[in-house]
Amino acid sequence: MQRIIIATKNAHKTGEFRAMLGSGYEVVDLTAFPELPAAEETGATFEENSAIKALHAAARFPGWVLADDSGLEVDALGGAPGVISARYSGEGATDASNRERLIDELRKLEGDSFSARFRCVLSVAEGDRVLGTWSGAVEGVIVPQERGSGGFGYDPLFIPNGESATFAELPGEVKNRLSHRARAFAAFREWLSACECST
Ligand code: ITT
């Protein structure tokens, strides 16, 4: 069985990668290494933070590591929360407190649905080198009331274009087909199958 290290402490992301990879892979994330300090996400873009996380883990583990930096951009908020999606509500932020802040910000505006997209940038690093970077996005709208209990993060507020349900209401298989992460991951897999290398 092939082993893949995902440089994340977000078990929801790992679960989605595990589902997208299918059987045949042993997927390990950083929750298995609680002593490992978190990478400092000081980048101004998803690309920079994805590379920071991949290199931070690759310095500590042999072989390849895959990192995911992702977030939500709401047009009416000038692209916020963007790269600070995980920390939108400040110190001690949780998914619930971040959603609450987003709803508060949107209630200050006119309208009841707001164009938005999720973005994901994946990086693979080995040692001190980033071997590749792949991006994916999914367009949709944000509604300012929570719907559904699946997924994580902003999923209960996000309806992807072409659907009438939020990512938290849609089955996981649907999210894992349409999502920003699925799209970035498909690009990564295409690269993987073209390059004569293995993890
Ligand atoms: P790691 O850095 O350990 O990977 P993290 O959750 O802090 O975990 P990010 O810095 O990439 O990861 O922040 C991503 C945030 O964007 C995440 O906490 C969610 O709030 C949001 N997000 C990303 N992908 C999402 C998705 O598929 N569904 C809902 N929200 C998502």
Intervals of the chain under pLDDT 50: none
Backbone angles phi, psi at 62, to 5 degrees: -75, 155
Å from CA of 69 to ligand 1 middle: 7
For residue 64, the SS3 value is strand
Predicted local confidence at residue 58, as pLDDT: 97
Assess whether the C-beta atom of 68 lies below 6 angstroms from ligand 1: yes
Rg (Cα) of the chain, in Å, rounded?
Answer: 17
Compute the distance from residue 135 Cα to the ligand 1 centre, in Å. Answer: 14
Q: What pLDDT is recorded for position 198?
A: 53
Question: CATH number, domain at 52?
Answer: 3.90.950.10
Give the integer Cα–Cα distance in Å for 49 and 58. 14
Q: Does residue 73's CB lie within 6 angstroms of at least one atom of ligand 1?
A: no
Convert the pLDDT of each residue in 130-180 to its tens digit: 999 999 999 999 999 999 999 999 999 999 999 999 999 999 999 999 999
Asked, for residue 96, whether it belongs to a domain, the answer is yes
Residues catalogued as catalytic: 69
Helix and strand counts by DSSP (H, E) for the chain: 5, 6
The phi, psi pair for 18, rounded to 5°, reads: -60, -45
Residue 178 host element (H or E)? helix 172-178
Whether the CB of 70 sits within 6 Å of ligand 1: yes
The predicted pLDDT at position 101 comes to: 98
Distance CA 79, CA 75 (A): 5
pTM, two decimal places: 0.96
Top mutation candidate among 17, 50, 154 for ligand 1, by most atoms within 8 Å of CB: 154
In ligand 1, the atom with minimum distance to the C-alpha of 88 is 20
Domain count, the chain: 1
How far is residue 74's CA from residue 71's CA, in Å, rounded to a whole number?
Answer: 10
Which atom from ligand 1 is nearest to the alpha carbon of 16? Answer: 27
In a domain, residue 199? The reply is no
Q: How far is the CA of 8 from the centre of ligand 1 (A)?
A: 9
**What pLDDT, on a 0 to 100 scale, did the predictor assign at position 197?**
64
Closest protein CA for atom 21 of ligand 1: 71
Answer whether residue 44 is part of any domain: yes
How many other C-beta atoms can be found within 10 angstroms of the C-beta atom of residue 8?
A: 22
According to the model, what pLDDT value does residue 1 have? 78
Give CA–CA dist 6/159, Å, rounded.
27
Give me the domain span that covers residue 58. Answer: 2-194
| 140 CB within 6 A, ligand 1 | no
Q: Is the peptide bond between 160 and the residue preceding it cis, with omega within 30 degrees of 0? A: no
Residue 118 lies in a domain: yes
